[in-house]
Amino acid sequence: MGVTRILDLIVIILLATVLLMPRPDASVKPALTLDPERRARVAELQSTLIGRPDAVDASLELANIFLDGHRPDWALVTVTAATKYHPNDYRLHNLRAIAYADRFEGAPAFEAVQRAVALCDAPTPPAGGAVCGDAARGRLALLAATLEEVSKVDMKKQPYLAKDRIFKTLHPTFIPKPKAPATKKVEPR
Residue 189 reports pLDDT greater than 80: no
**In this structure, is residue 104 part of a structural domain?**
yes
Q: Give me the pLDDT at residue 173, please.
A: 58
Which residue range is the domain that position 39 belongs to? 32-170
Q: How many CB atoms lie within 10 A of CB 175?
A: 5
**In this structure, is residue 41 part of a structural domain?**
yes
pTM value?
A: 0.74
What are the distances in angstroms from CA 22 to CA 19, 29, 151, 165?
8, 14, 42, 44
**In this structure, is residue 4 part of a structural domain?**
no
**In this structure, is residue 189 part of a structural domain?**
no
CATH code: domain of residue 85: 1.25.40.10
Q: Give me the pLDDT at residue 27, please.
A: 80
pLDDT digits (tens, 9 = 90+) for 106-125: 899 999 999 999 999 888 87
Q: Give me the pLDDT at residue 154, please.
A: 86
Q: Give me the pLDDT at residue 182, please.
A: 66
Whether 150 and 163 have beta carbons less than 8 Å apart is answered as no
pLDDT digits (tens, 9 = 90+) for 140-186: 998 898 888 888 888 888 888 888 888 887 765 566 677 777 666 66
Residue 85 reports pLDDT greater than 80: yes
**In this structure, is residue 5 part of a structural domain?**
no
**In this structure, is residue 182 part of a structural domain?**
no
**In this structure, is residue 60 part of a structural domain?**
yes
Tell me how many domains the chain contains.
1
**In this structure, is residue 36 part of a structural domain?**
yes
Whether 120 and 139 have beta carbons less than 8 Å apart is answered as no
